Amino acid sequence: MPKPMTPRERVVTALASQVPDRVPINYEANAGIDRRLKEHYGLKPEDHEGLREALGVDFRGIGAPYIGPKLHADIPERGVIVDNFGIHRRWIEHGSGGYWDFCDFPLRDADEEAIAAWPMPTPDQHDYDAIAAQCRRHDRYALHVGNPGLGCIINTAGFLRNMEQAFIDLITDNAAGMLMIDRILDYQYEVARRTLEAAGGRIDFMWMGEDLGTQHGPIISMDIFQRHIKPRHQRFLNLAREWGLPVMLHTCGSSSWTYEEYIKMGLKAVDTLQPEARDMSPEYLKRTFGGRLAFHGCISTAGPVAFGTVHDTIVDCRRTLEIMMPGGGYCFAPTHALQDNSPTENVVAMFETARRDGVYS
- Please tell me the predicted confidence (pLDDT) of residue 3: 87
SS3 62: strand
- The backbone torsions φ and ψ at residue 119, rounded to the nearest 5 degrees and listed phi first, read -65, 130
Give the CB-side neighbour count of residue 160, counting CA atoms within 13 A: 27
- The Cα–Cα gap between 285 and 299 comes to 14
**Is CATH 3.40.30.10 correct for 7-69+110-357?**
no
- The backbone torsions φ and ψ at residue 120, rounded to the nearest 5 degrees and listed phi first, read -140, 155
Q: CA angle 159-165-169, nearest 5°? A: 110
What pTM did the predictor assign? 0.97
What letter does residue 334 receive in the DSSP assignment? E
SS3 330: strand
CB atoms within 10 A of CB 94: 11
Percent of the chain as helix, strand, coil, to the nearest 5: 45, 20, 35
Beta-carbon contacts of 358 under 8 Å, excluding residues fewer than 6 positions away, are 22, 23, 25, 321, 325, 332
- Please tell me the predicted confidence (pLDDT) of residue 173: 98
Do strands 269-272 and 294-299 pair parallel, antiparallel, or not at all (unpaired)? parallel
Q: What is the DSSP string of 281-318?
A: SHHHHHHHHBTTBEEEEEE-TTSHHHHS-HHHHHHHHH
Residue by residue, pLDDT tens for the chain (361 residues) are: 678 999 999 999 999 999 999 999 999 999 999 999 999 999 999 999 999 999 999 999 999 999 999 999 999 999 999 999 999 999 999 888 899 999 999 999 999 999 999 999 999 999 999 999 999 999 999 999 999 999 999 999 999 999 999 999 999 999 999 999 999 999 999 999 999 999 999 999 999 999 999 999 999 999 999 999 999 999 999 999 999 999 999 999 999 999 999 999 999 999 999 999 999 999 999 999 999 999 999 999 999 999 999 999 999 999 999 999 999 999 999 999 999 999 999 999 999 999 999 999 8
- Please tell me the predicted confidence (pLDDT) of residue 97: 87
- The Cα–Cα gap between 202 and 219 comes to 36
- Please tell me the predicted confidence (pLDDT) of residue 107: 98
State the Cα torsion 342-345-348-349 to the nearest 10°.
Answer: -100
Q: CA angle 72-186-203, nearest 5°? A: 105
Q: Which of 79, 75, 82, 98 is nearest to 90 (CA)?
A: 79
- Please tell me the predicted confidence (pLDDT) of residue 2: 75
